[in-house]
């Protein structure tokens, strides 16, 4: 979610500290996994928010032919740039759904929003991402 290994390590450390410090106050109103996931999400978002706006996501391309590497790298950068332009609430719901493969209900529990809001945000996000990619990323 941070797009950077060093930032991910920082977020993980923050997450572990928050879990350790808050475990005694866990009330059991949600599944433990949902509670931990929310802490992890908040930690990653906090680390990402500290990043300078000028810093860009660098993704290593797959090891294959040179031309295919360049095309894959270009496409990855286009998608990453388009995702960076999404509103945070849309970027988060898309990441949880497409990358983490969570259900609408799980996403709703993690974000603390109604399930219908997740469906709505996903639909809006898909349209916006398609528009951004059609406009050149």
Give the count of beta carbons closer than 10 Å to the beta carbon of residue 121. 21
Q: Are 11 and 49 in contact (CB under 8 A)?
A: no
Q: pLDDT, tens digit, for every residue of 61-105?
A: 555 566 776 776 777 778 778 888 888 889 888 888 887 788 899
DSSP summary character for residue 95: I
pLDDT band at 29 (very low <50, low <70, confident <90, very high): confident
pLDDT of 106 over the 80 cut: yes
Q: What pLDDT, on the 0 to 100 scale, is given for residue 59?
A: 54
What are the structural domains, with CATH classification, of the chain?
A: 1-55 (no CATH), 64-137 (1.10.10.10)
Q: Are 3 and 79 in contact (CB under 8 A)?
A: no
Mean pLDDT of the chain: 78
Q: What pLDDT, on the 0 to 100 scale, is given for residue 7?
A: 77
CA distance 2 to 99: 13
Q: What pLDDT, on the 0 to 100 scale, is given for residue 1?
A: 60
0.85 cut: is pTM over it? no
């Amino acid at each position: 979610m941070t797009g950077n290994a060093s930032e991910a390590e920082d977020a993980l450390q923050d997450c572990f500290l928050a879990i350790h410090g808050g475990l005694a106050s866990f009330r059991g109103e949600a599944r433990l996994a949902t509670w931990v996931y929310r802490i992890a999400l908040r930690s990653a978002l906090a680390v990402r928010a500290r990043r300078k706006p000028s810093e860009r996501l660098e993704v290593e391309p797959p090891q294959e032919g040179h031309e295919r590497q360049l095309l894959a790298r270009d496409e990855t950068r286009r998608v990453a740039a388009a995702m960076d332009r999404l509103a945070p609430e849309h970027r988060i719901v898309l990441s949880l759904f497409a990358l983490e493969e969570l259900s609408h209900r799980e996403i709703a529990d993690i974000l603390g929003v109604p399930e219908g809001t997740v469906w709505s945000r996903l639909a809006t996000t898909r349209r916006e991402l398609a528009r951004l990619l059609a406009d050149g990323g």
